[in-house]
Amino acid sequence: MDRKTLVVACLSLCLLTPTLNAAYIYDFQIFNNADYENNPNLAFTAEVFDSGGQAVFEFRNNSTISSVIAEIYFDSYGLLEFDHITNYIVDEASEIGTKFESGDVHPSNLPGGNLLDPVFEANVNLSAGAYNPSPKWGIGPDEKLQITFNLEEGHDFSEIISGLNSGTDFRIGLHIQSVGTEGVSVSAVNKVPEPITVCLLSLGGLALLRRRRAETA
């Protein structure tokens, strides 16, 4: 099957497949440090899914080198309202795990966000940052964190996905510290998937959601 036929078949299947409660996984691209922009050892994802009318964002650090997600920013207005953060604390006494708080995050905007087109403008009411010291409480390799939002009245989950897929209407930014042996800081923004990838994310998300439900049943 050639690529064109595959795209048509996939898109047709997407149209026939209900995507309610599907999960979508987005990768991130570092944009303000040429040395790390295409480094395969740095990998971060956000899994986005609908949970009973709420939007849940699960962030993971899949990197194989030193790196810590210290702040999370959302360039979105009039769509979401912060609800709560689910930290994954392994051992609080030893400061192992993730511990974030919302609101008054410093810096207030994604570092280097002015380099993007359009410029990244963080909604401070949605932002979240690691407790001090952030290298300990941030999201390190093999760690994760969930942020749950309520949808503003008159909006639905599909608007989040269409916004993220547009690359302009809704963006997620990460400020990452302690990167590599140099311990530098970099910024990343969610990648815009290709159309066929969007479709596969929808179908894969459904399978992932079914597996999650089976595991918790």
Q: What global pTM score does this model have?
A: 0.81
Model confidence band, residue 25 (pLDDT cutoffs 50, 70, 90) = very high
Query: What is the pLDDT, as a whole number, of residue 80?
Result: 97
Q: How many CA atoms lie within 13 A of 175 on its CB side?
A: 22
Task: Kindly indicate the confidence band of residue 205, based on its pLDDT and cuts at 50, 70 and 90.
Answer: very low
43-47, 144-148, 210-214: which range is least confident on average? Answer: 210-214
The single-letter code of the amino acid at 130 is: A
Q: How far apart are CA 208 and CA 177, in angstroms?
A: 30
HEC per residue, the chain: CCHHHHHHHHHHHHHHCCCCCCEEEEEEEECCCCCCCCCCCCCEEEEEEEECCEEEEEEEECCCCCCEEEEEEEECCCCEEEEEEECCEEECCCCEECCEEECCCCCCCCCCHHHCCCCCCCCCCCCEEECCCHHHHCECCCCEEEEEEEECCCCCHHHHHHHHHHCCCCEEEEEEEEECCCCEEEEEEECCCCHHHHHHHHHHHHHHHHHHHHHHC
Q: Give the pLDDT of residue 36.
A: 96
Please give the pLDDT value at position 102.
95
Task: Find the mean pLDDT for residues 124-128.
Answer: 97
pLDDT in tens, 58-97: 999 999 999 999 999 999 999 999 999 999 876 666 667 8
pLDDT value, residue 180: 95
Range of lowest pLDDT (176-180, 192-196, 197-201): 197-201
Domains defined for the chain, CATH in brackets: 20-216 (2.60.40)
Task: Give the pLDDT score at 160.
Answer: 96
Specify the pLDDT at position 89: 77
Residue 132 CA, distance from chain mean position = 22
Strand partners, 180: none
Contact 174, 69 (CB under 8 A): yes
pLDDT score, position 168: 95
pLDDT tops 80 at residue 99: yes
Neighbours of 90 (CB within 10 A): 10
